[in-house]
Structure 1
Amino acid sequence: MKVIGMRGQLRDDILREIRSRNDIVEVISEYVLLKQTGKNYKALCPFHTERTPSFVVSPERQLFHCFGCGASGDVFAFIMKLENMSFPEAARLLAERAGIDLPGDGASGPRREGDIKALILEANEAAADYFNWALLQTRQGATALDYLRGRGIDEDDIVRFKLGYAPPGWDSLYKALTRKGLSPEILEAAGLIIKRKESRGFYDRFRNRVMFTIFDLHGRVVGFGGRVLDDSQPKYLNSPETAVFSKGSSLYGISVARDEIRASGRAVIVEGYTDVIAAHRAGVRTAVASLGTALTQNQARLLARYAKEVVLAYDADFAGEAATIRGMDLLSAAGLQVKVAVFPGGKDPDEVIRSEGRDAFVSMLDGARPLVEYKLDLALKDIDLSTLQGRVAAAARAAAVVAGIQNAVERLEYSRVMAARLNVPEEAFIEEVRKLGRTGPAPRVPSKDKFGQNRNTTGNTHVEGVSHLRQGVPAKVIKAERGLLRLMLEEPDVYIAVRRELGEVVFSCDEHRTIAAAIMDEARNSERGGVTGSVDAASVISRLADDTLRAVATGAFIEDIPVSPEGRKEILSDYIKVLKEHLMRERIRRMEGELKALEASGDTAKFQELLVEWQELRSKLDREFASFGGFM
């Protein structure tokens, strides 16, 4: 049987070994800043922008779930979603991480996407080696080497960042890599060569350029940036979008800066390649750069996995551009504390370090100002505050900035400070901020039921991650069914006891019924393997056929049962009562429909017979559940 294939072709023993040797908390903590809260860990979700952590990781279940966007699953699902990988690619990555050797799958026929990516990465690695060799070992590379040394870049920098040189020949790289057995199709897919339009053959994308190698988080070569050594255009040229490279999702220097960023909680964003290299040489090992564009949402989320604070270190012109300001706002929206260090005289970090030294650069970073203050200064720039018209215009601009502050206390304090600074009435400035920030009613703060689950004040309970479940099923029934699934994980025999009480139909939601069957299948499978007791949640998830089922199951499994084992009998009893009451009400509702039909048909005898049965069931419902309010 194949070891690597699609999910359904994985041998269970191989899958279990990979999963067991990749603890989900350890793996996710390599990407996200996790904070322990009770049994679980929480973080800002890496899959959507949020300010309040709703991303939960359960070491006990070996699962993750976001109660904001619904992303969920096991360690394989996390890697697949975050790294944009297929299941075989994620399995390979995790196997390599755990030191597990996987034989090839022997697949034939057309190459799968994962194979193409692997070949592109191989081509990129070979290209990086070639460019590095051309820089250090060829006569033509001497000019590029002189350029780098003129920027203060030394041998250590060249090695750490794998710098290189693309020779001026039209097909130097093409010839070198095809001689190594790499196909033109893969080189073209990697963005290293371009097909000629007017004739047969290919030519190199990068020629006569200093080459900056772009690595991903794992240190794999995903692309390149090239700077010309003459006056030709464009001055900088990046790799095109490929199967392994997206400019808007990559950060130059992230592979060497990641661990330092995580340790310090701070990232420094600079504008260009040489700024990153200069900052690292000066000891600021948390520096990264976007790739010639304003910051994107994906880059902001990437930084938010590791940092709490970001300092933007730009020259004044670039820092003041509208696109740059939007990038700063994206960082703030991703939950990061944003500060801005603007360098005077049009200097960039590289120039500051070379002209004024490391200490001056570090001092400027330490003196970075909060984003709000920087935006306020920018808004008031070139306004004459000595005139009434100037102060009114300044107040309007400043109010627009202050209205964007999320924290109410901070917003009020900045309102007072700016009113005094602009010499305008405080009440009027605060009212202007309120008008600009009035986008809708404040969200309600949900109360909690006795199981610690959210309940709003209207009585319409919102159950996270179950909006796709069967319409018309009361929220308390959905909660009871989810709770029962959690108890079944701990003790599968619970299901047998519940069926004795309720009969064959226990779950009203089809999804829950399918998940329960998967739990029981996994329990039977474990018993055959000599394992009894609780069931492995991740193994149950792997049995489910689609993403919707896996999301529902993960959302149910990851929640704690906040009681002692002894108290679980009481909880189970409550769950059974809720489900029993619901089944009884459903039976009564169906009988009422039948009564209407019998009355319309004139079948008096059957109508009277069913009416007596309905009255008895109605009386039983009132007797057994009149004082039971469930757990809402």
Structure 2
Amino acid sequence: MAIPQLFIQDLLERTDVVEVVGRYVQLKKAGANFVGLCPFHAEKTPSFSVSQSKQFYHCFGCGKSGNAIGFLMEMTGAGFLEVVQGLAQQYGLEVPDDRRGPAEREQEARAREARARLAALLAQASAAYSKLLRSSRAAIGYLKRRGLSGAIARDFGLGWAPDGWQTLAEVFSDYESPLLVEAGLVIAQEGPPARRYDRFRQRVMFPIRGIRGDVIGFGGRVLDDSKPKYLNSSDGTLFHKGRELYGLFEARRAVRERGYALVTEGYMDVVALAQSGFLNAVATLGTACTPEHVQKLFRFTDQIVFSFDGDAAGRAAAHKALNVALPYAEDTRTLKFLFLPPEHDPDSFVRSQGVAAFQEQVDRAIPLSRFLIDAAAEQCAMDTAEGRSHFAAKARELWQRLPDGALGRQLLGDIATRVQLDVQELERLWGLSGTADRRLAPASVDVRGAAPAPARPTPSVRASSARSYPSDRTAARALQIVLTASESWLALSSTDHQLLCDMPTPYGPLFAWVERQLQESGPQTWPVFRSRLTDQALAEVAEDLVRRIPAEIKPEASELESILRAQRPSYLKKRMNAALAEGNLGLYRVLLADYTAAKK
């Protein structure tokens, strides 16, 4: 989707940054500006200033600054497109797309209406479950035994689903509505005989909220040890368990204030930790940690602490989280791994050992650099040459997933020391000598002892002359810049976006893919792009282009602007001719104005 820059400007002119910021920060008038406590870092004296005349905010403490759109992206963790659409909806505007036809716009409008209807049903169900909790002695007794107060149950919107098969028939006037099935509240079996019944029965209910605070799904827990202990909403229009984190909406402010997010494995862990003062805890939803989880958390903080049970299952989950997190381990970020004693989870540990003891465990969490070494060394006899060789093979698979930077280079030295080689010898062994991009394509690896997957050919083996795609030096260089410095894309106009996306295959499709990624998730590093690029043909092109970047050449937004400045006139002229051929004089006049400006 390419949003015209004029629309963004119009939207910002309609938006009052003071009103937007004031929804989250208590502001006071101070001269020409408004001031308040910064929502992005902990402070006692206000250093956060909002200018109504300039429609701009700036924190003199942490340096965060921007307009209303940037503030909402920072505060809510939403992507650019989602924030723009939300603001546009508030002002009764439809977000235009230079490349959408009437049918596509109508389809998107219907999709938005469907999402709104589903959200309303889930909100109604959440209110009903909360009301039912107040009359359930068994559920209240269970929560009290777990040490939870009424206040914390209210803050998280906890509820109760009774044992009846059709309790929700008393909540919704049309129990036969297919929307209840789509919302994950009701299960419909075609039969014979046909049956329709509530998905959640005799469970404590945990509403799962999206980044805007809307209920998007539920998790339900039984009161005893019957199976399944936890039951989630099914994946659907609003809810995808591999993307969402329980408690993130409630924890977002505490995550910023405490400086880190604490990732646990269960709903009860989050609520119990919040009860004990750890308001920055979140949980995965019965699934292993995913790239979407890590990426979402890094929108709110630069430090993540993963908390795992100390048993075999917890160690296995930690290995998976390590694999997922490595491409995001940039030098300005911190990832740590906390292992509790095997008999405890965070909930039981806090209740039995106390808050101070749990805080000590957090403070002693293992940094990613050490856990990577420890994980690779598992089941390797490090006192033998064979064991060290096995360790080197496993460590290589993990190390290659790191983005280029100081952390990766230091770890290379640590790995070399463990293998009893010098760094240069290890680089030659791994085929790294003389290459600009030291990272091979990310690959999944079982760090617990399985044989590593075959490595992709190194640049010295895979000659660039073997490329089968057409050579275009201008398009290739522009793509190299965008893939390795994706923030440069955000500074471009919608016309420039379309220019790049209209380039011939494979360049245009790759630019279009990058645009979708940035609108969904914001700027990303090359290793993250590579891990998400599933089209094999495009992936090979992107790998080849990044691999051929000389080590001494750094991506610069100014260079991308120079490339586009040279391309704009001919591109706009081509579009003008097409507009004339179609008889679209309105579009022709707009393009003519752009063309005249581009020729200056």
TM superposition shift of 1:484: 11
Residue 304 of structure 1 contacts residue 334 of structure 1 at CA under 8 Å; is this kept in 2? Answer: no
Q: Which residue pairs with 1:115 in the alignment?
A: 113
Tell me which of 184, 199, 204 is aligned to 2:177: 184
Q: 1:320 aligns with which of 316, 320, 333?
A: 316
CA distance in 2 between counterparts of 1:414 and 1:109 reads: 50
Match of 2:572 in 1: 510
Which of 241, 253, 266 is residue 235 of structure 2 equivalent to? 241
**Residue aligning to 1:193:** 186
Are 1:79 and 1:85, in contact at CA under 8 Å, matched by a contact in 2?
A: no
| Closer/same/farther in 2, CA of residues 478 and 110 from structure 1, 3 Å limit | closer
Classify 1:80/1:401 alpha carbon distance in 2 versus 1 (closer, same or farther; 3 Å).
closer
What value does the CA root-mean-square deviation take over the aligned residues?
5.4
CA contact (8 A) 1:415 1:430 kept: no
Contact 1:300–1:330, Cα closer than 8 Å, also in 2: no
Q: How many residues are matched?
A: 439
Which residue number in structure 1 is paired with residue 260 of structure 2?
266
The amino acid across from 2:373 in the alignment is L
By how many angstroms is 1:471 displaced? 7.0
> Is this contact kept in 2: 1:80–1:87, CA < 8 A?
no
**Superposed, which structure 2 residues align to 1:282-321 within 5 Å?**
282-316=276-310, 317=312, 318-321=314-317
Cα distance in 2 between the residues matched to 1:18 and 1:258: 27
Structure-2 change in CA distance of 1:19 and 1:183 (3 Å)? farther
2:336 matched to which residue of 1?
Answer: 339
**One-letter code aligned to 2:133:** L
- 1:161 aligns with 156
Which residues in structure 2 correspond to 1:556-595 (within 5 Å)?
579=599
Runs of 4+ residues over 6 Å off in structure 1: 11-14, 22-33, 39-42, 78-81, 108-111, 458-464, 475-478, 480-485, 511-514
1:80–1:332 CA distance, 2 compared to 1 (3 A): closer
> Cα–Cα, structure 1 residues 439 and 149, in superposed 2: closer, same or farther, change >3 Å?
farther
Q: 1:326 & 1:200 partners in 2: Cα distance?
A: 45
Tell me if 1:126 matches 2:131: no
Q: Secondary structure at the match of 2:122?
A: helix
Which among 133, 143, 149 is matched to residue 148 of structure 1?
Answer: 143
State whether residues 79 and 90 of structure 1, in contact with CA within 8 Å, keep that contact through their aligned partners in structure 2: no
Query: What is the aligned partner in structure 2 of residue 202 from structure 1?
Result: 196
Distance 1:23 1:381, change over 3 A: same
When residues 315 and 16 of structure 1 are mapped into structure 2, their CA distance, relative to the original with a 3 A threshold, is closer
**Residue in 1 aligned with 2:215?**
221
Aligned partner letter, 1:196: Q
Q: Give the TM-score normalised by the residue count of structure 1.
A: 0.57
Is residue 254 from structure 1 mapped to residue 254 from structure 2 by the alignment? no
**Partners of 2:369 and 2:236 in 1: CA distance:** 37
TM superposition shift of 1:223 = 0.6
Note closer, same or farther for the CA distance 1:260–1:433 as it changes in structure 2 (3 Å cut).
Answer: farther
For residues 294 and 237 of structure 1, do their structure 2 counterparts lie closer, same or farther at Cα, with a shift above 3 Å needed? same
Deviations 1:249-276 (A, max 9, x none): 2110011111121233311111110111
1:202 is displaced (CA, Å) by: 2.2
Alignment of 1:358-373 (within 5 A): 358-373=355-370
- Given residue 134 of structure 1, which amino acid in structure 2 is its aligned partner? L
Runs (5+) with no aligned partner, structure 1: 1-6, 43-55, 65-73, 97-107, 445-454, 486-505, 518-542, 557-574, 581-632
Work out whether residues 226 and 236 of structure 1, in 8 Å CA contact, stay in contact via their aligned partners in 2.
yes
In structure 1, the residue corresponding to 2:172 is in which secondary structure?
helix
Q: Distance in 2 between matches of 1:396 and 1:305?
A: 33
Contact 2:302 2:334 in 1 (8 A): yes
| Matches for 1:387-536 after TM superposition, within 5 Å | 387-402=384-399, 404-407=401-404, 409-420=406-417, 422=418, 424-427=419-422, 430-433=424-427, 435-436=429-430, 438=432, 441-442=435-436, 466=496, 468=499, 507-510=569-572
SS of corresponding position for 1:133: helix
Q: Which residue does the alignment assign to 1:212?
A: 206
Seen in structure 2, the aligned counterparts of structure 1 residues 204 and 111 have a Cα distance that, compared at 3 Å, is farther
The SS at the match of 1:146 is: helix
Quick check: 1:249–1:298 contact (8 Å CA) kept in 2? yes
Tell me the distance in 1 between the aligned counterparts of 2:130 and 2:198: 16
| TM-score, structure 2 normalization | 0.60
Aligned residue number for residue 564 of structure 1: none
Taking the aligned partners of 1:189 and 1:256, their CA distance within structure 2 comes to: 25
Call closer, same or farther: CA 1:345–1:19 in 2, change over 3 Å.
Answer: same
1:408 shift after superposition: 5.4
Query: Match for 1:361: what amino acid?
Result: F
Name the aligned partner's letter for residue 112 of structure 2. G
Percent identical: 28
Partner amino acid, structure 1, of 2:265: E
- Measured after TM superposition, the shift of residue 384 of structure 1 is 3.3
User: Is the Cα contact below 8 Å between 2:182 and 2:236 reproduced in 1?
Assistant: yes
Task: Please identify the structure whose Cα radius of gyration is greater.
Answer: 1
2:288–2:320: 8 Å Cα contact kept in structure 1? yes
The residue matched to 1:509 in structure 2 has which SS?
helix
State the AA in 2 paired with 1:281. Answer: Q
C-alpha displacement at 1:512, in angstroms? Answer: 10
Distance 2:479 2:283 in 1: 47
Cα distance in 1 for residues equivalent to 2:376 and 2:559:
54
Q: 1:17 & 1:459 partners in 2: Cα distance?
A: 32
3-state SS of paired residue (2:305): strand
Residue 405 of structure 1 and its aligned partner are, at CA, apart by 4.5
Letter in 2 for 1:132: S
Contact 2:217/2:239 (8 A) holds in 1: yes
For residues 587 and 76 of structure 2, the distance between their equivalents in structure 1, rounded to whole angstroms, comes to: 18
In the TM superposition, what is the alpha-carbon distance from 1:228 to its structure 2 partner? Answer: 2.3
* 2-structure distance, mates of 1:440, 1:165: 62
User: Structure 2, unaligned stretches of length 5 or more?
Assistant: 26-37, 42-47, 58-63, 94-105, 439-473, 483-487, 490-495, 505-556, 580-585
Structure 1 residue 216: Cα displacement: 1.3
> In the aligned structure 2, how far is the partner of 1:135 from the partner of 1:28?
30
